[in-house]
Structure 1
Amino acid sequence: MVERDELTFVEEMGALFERLGYGRMAGRVWGYLLVVDAEQVSAADLVEALDSSPSAISTATRVLISLGLVDR
């Protein structure tokens, strides 16, 4: 579980990625991965933590993979 200031960071990363043209959800996922205390995070974990749909998480994950920020 992440703290409120960490959730703020997640949302700020979403806004940054959106401004850069990569999409808000990609930034939210990246921000969450930076603050969560876990070795691995599943798509289901991201859906729950970010209150999002599986398809949005899948699309965001593909963006992050294409940027070289995450591996499957």
Structure 2
Amino acid sequence: MRLSELGQKEIVNLNNGERLGLISDADILFDKETGEIISLLASEKKISFKFLGVEGLEKEIPWDSIRKIGYDMIIVEL
């Protein structure tokens, strides 16, 4: 699967059903030596008061916590 195919898939936590955001909004951390993906950084847009100096937080999702990549969502177990 290509990264471009992941595009608008939603990241959902298996344990509590929490929506963690879209994969297209997440940053990807990878190992520079091996090129392996380490984790995703999904931004939590619940807190978004840029004018007060408070921006959204990021939740790190380890790559090995991904359980299933489906047609329109990615299921993770956190």
TM-score normalised by the chain length of structure 1: 0.27
More helix by proportion, 1 or 2? 1
| Larger-gyration structure (1/2) | 2
TM-score normalised by the chain length of structure 2: 0.26
More strand by proportion, 1 or 2? 2
